[in-house]
Chain A
């Protein structure tokens, strides 16, 4: 994560919070994203049964996203270390699979608003069955930055090129 990402994160926090407060739950995050400056809702439909998508979320979410990441960047005049802990939560019910991703900066970034337990909400993906073979995914996600994470979640939904995102990018 470089300064650009930190700046985007700062903007996201401001935009999502309306300079007042940051979403404290996944439901608040869903409601805040459509009106936020640096976040958007994206809907995709995949040719894959809901149960498979849910299983992939359950497997890949914890395996790939329960991580603490350390990045360093330096110039002639500065040296910056950022330590970030990501927390995935997967909730599966009969008709819906939810993947929540939160991030908490352990070091290197100042928080400007109250942080929910587990960290700021970064992404929420809701998967719901459309037909026996099709699944719809609503992605509540940043519109700038975190492209690798977003792509990974889409891959988990489609079942193609399944891997873990390099969260240092």
Chain B
């Protein structure tokens, strides 16, 4: 009798764990967020400063990285959470990437949240490095990208490039 009860409890535990895994998968699918593999040579050096300006609210920053296809279609590759003040990321050179900087803010007292994004196309050049400054302070944000050659301190500021510019160049061809 006791053994039968034990078996039933074991089955119940296994079913609970399976359900949890299914729920986690389902939620991951719903939110559509996955971690960027970040296995390539590190050429994107992201310096992040975030300050919500209040004890009762929080700001989180992240980068969604997309591969840009020949027809400008986006293929989501993953997200890097900018939880540390400096994070190195590898994006493939020679081809266009679409970077979406996401600032998510939430207020505990008002119980509300919102996200705002800053997007740009970027074609990383081989051997070049890209210093990215990501700032959020006093409800203002700024993203600046500077391209430099290794061992050189100076570089050039990269202006944001909209996805529509890719689409218009494709339609011209």
Contacts and interface: CB of A to CB of B under 8 A. Distances in A.
Interface of A: 1-2, 63, 67, 69-75, 148, 151-152, 155, 161-169
Contacts of A151: 140
B76 interface: no
A71 B140 contact: no
Contact of A166 (B110, B111, B140, B160): B140
B118 interface: yes
Given A67-B116, A72-B114, A166 B105 contact: yes
A72 B114 CA distance: 6
Contacts of A2: 110, 112
A148 B140 CA distance: 8
B113 A71 contact: yes
A148 B135 CA distance: 16
Shortest Cβ-Cβ A-B pairs, 4 listed? A168-B114, A73-B112, A163-B140, A71-B114
Q: Is the interface of B mostly helix, strand, loop or mixed?
A: strand
B118 to A, nearest CB: 7
A73 to B, nearest CB: 3
Contacts of A67: 116-117
B103 interface: yes
Q: Is the interface of A mostly helix, strand, loop or mixed?
A: mixed
Nearest to A166: B139
Contact of A163 (B113, B115, B117, B135): B135
12 contacts: A63-B160, A67-B116, A73-B111, A75-B111, A148-B140, A163-B135, A164-B141, A165-B140, A166-B116, A166-B136, A166-B140, A167-B116
A2 B105 CA distance: 13
A128 to B, nearest CB: 25
A163 B141 contact: yes
Contacts of A169: 105, 114, 139
B142 interface: yes
A69 B142 contact: no
B112 A71 contact: yes
B140 A74 contact: no
B120 to A, nearest CB: 9
A163 B115 CA distance: 16
Interface string B97-116: 00000010100001111111
Contacts of A164: 116, 118, 140-142
Nearest to A152: B140
* Residue with the greatest number of chain B CB neighbours at <10 A, chosen from A70, A72, A161, A164: A164
B140 A161 contact: yes
* Residue with the greatest number of chain B CB neighbours at <10 A, chosen from A74, A165, A169: A169
A165 B112 contact: no
A165 B110 CA distance: 20
A108 to B, nearest CB: 12
